[in-house]
Structure 1
Amino acid sequence: MRTTFDAEADAAYITLVSEIAPGRSVRNEIVDTAGGTVVLDFDQAGVLLGIEVIGATKLLDGEFLAGAERIDQA
């Protein structure tokens, strides 16, 4: 599992498989909440590949985000 966080976009992505090849994600389930949006990415077989969290600072625990790989820093 790998978690990335972009503070500028306030978005996190939790990858649940070793790698998501281009085109593998074919279906998305979108859940809108008061604090943001959660997008579940599935492959053709229905396997959950990853979870995108928009509004991450409101929807995820701060300690969890602190351990995420930052992708907004050069």
Structure 2
Amino acid sequence: MADLRVTYDETANAAYVYLTDPQVRTRSSRMYPCDPVEVDGMINLDFDEQGRLIGIEILRASSKLPEYLLASSERLDADGA
């Protein structure tokens, strides 16, 4: 199983799940916002120039992602571990 890179900013309560090779720098070409009513929050899907899904931004992350994933994520906030 491949390692999954997840960053989390507890202050903003925002997480980002990277779906790309960590050795390759990939730029987002297009962002698709999921319907906030349907998902009870804001989730954005990032795609590269070839239309491949490269990452997922999750706002209100503590209510959307499992605690173990947030606890093991790379912290971006000043209070992070």
TM-score tier after normalising by the smaller chain length: 0.7 to 0.9
Work out the percentage of aligned pairs sharing the same amino acid. 39
Q: Indicate whether 1:17 and 2:30 are aligned.
A: no
| Residue matched to 1:69 | 74
Question: Between Structure 1 and Structure 2, whose CA radius of gyration is higher?
Answer: 2
Q: Which runs of structure 1 show a deviation greater than 4 angstroms over 4 or more consecutive aligned residues?
A: none
Partner amino acid for 2:77?
A: D
Partner amino acid for 2:8?
A: F
Partner amino acid for 1:2?
A: R
> In 2, Cα distance between the equivalents of 1:50 and 1:20?
12
Higher strand share: 1
Of residues 29, 49, 72 in structure 1, which corresponds to 2:32?
Answer: 29
The CA RMSD over aligned residues, in Å, is 1.4
Please, which runs of 5 or more residues in structure 2 have no aligned partner?
none
Q: Indicate whether 1:58 and 2:76 are aligned.
A: no
* Deviation (angstroms), 1:17: 0.5
> In 2, Cα distance between the equivalents of 1:64 and 1:73?
19
CA displacement, residues 6-26 of structure 1 (integer Å, 9 cap, x when unaligned):
0000000011112444xx211
What TM-score comes out, normalization by structure 1 length? Answer: 0.85
Q: How many residues align?
A: 71
Please, which runs of 5 or more residues in structure 1 have no aligned partner?
none
